[in-house]
Structure 1
Amino acid sequence: MKKYIRPAIVLTLGMVSVIGVYTLFVFGIAKITPEKGLGEQITINGKKQYANIGQQFSLPQYFHGRPSAVNYNAAGSGGSNKGPNNPEYLADVQKRIDTLLIQNPTMTEVKIPVDLITASGSGLDPNISVQAAEFQIDRVAKARNISTEKVKELIAQNASDENIVFFAPQKVNVLKLNAALENLK
């Protein structure tokens, strides 16, 4: 019995120290980032919002983000885990397509970017592609009574190349884009 206890204790202490060192290393790296490991926050109408967590926008004067399988609940991040042939999943996607076409009557189903009808793996993706933002230009411009050129300009100003993968398409943070719309007033 003593033959097994000593190696078990040594292995446990070794793993605790390795995991502890790794945790402290990651914590230290986070503390030297601009946000000090707390996530990027922006203030909209006096209320702080996290720009790195997807938010739900449903009013026509705002850009809408990716759908969320977890109803934008950051405490329960996750996808739907339904396969591409699952009837429930296909019904959800068709419902999203129908809603988008009603909200954006000047657009056609062929032009709908995939990120406007499919949820991300976490359900909390804060970004959409530039094409997804451009798909919504007419609706937002009409709801805000501003020119489509001004809305295109805002999209271009908020487009980002901060991708880990080379040659990945530009993306737009929906919360920052909607904050920029609010600042037009």
Structure 2
Amino acid sequence: MGKYFFLTLFAGMLLSCSDGDLQIETIDFDSVALQFCTAPQTTAKNIMFKINDDEALILELQSGVLNRGVVGETVTTESTVPGQSQVTYRIFSDGVTKNYFCDDIPLTEPTVVDEIEAQDGTVIIETVANEDNTEFVHTIRLSGISFVTDTDERITDLTISEFGEVTTDIPE
């Protein structure tokens, strides 16, 4: 009888194991449009975001990183995360809109359910002049972005390599 008790107990333990209650399995923002409240500037920090229903991916670019273009050349600039720039992933209690980030008076709903800041990675910005040489087109990519939750779980399925494109005027 003792053998059956331990066998049943062992089988029960195997069947009841959890994987740490991982809530976030995938972060996928590649097909979501890039948004911002104010037009990107070359001499200030820039905050840009992507919204996917009740999730948001927020990029805070370091000051001056968009001011690296040369007419007639393609210039690639890198910004480290979290040292120079920051990438933050948020989950909200309900769908969120641009107004959540851009209104003068912050909205109280939806509320932030979870917020995770990237622990590692690089923001890569490729800058070229447009055909008229009136604006720089900055293509922003994320590389090696690593999110670690409060319970030390690493989010490994990241589909966020293409962050988007922004333009800035070519200085005279």
- Bin of the TM-score, shorter chain as denominator length: under 0.3
TM-score, normalising length from structure 2? Answer: 0.23
Higher strand share: 2
TM-score, normalising length from structure 1? Answer: 0.22
Higher helix share: 1
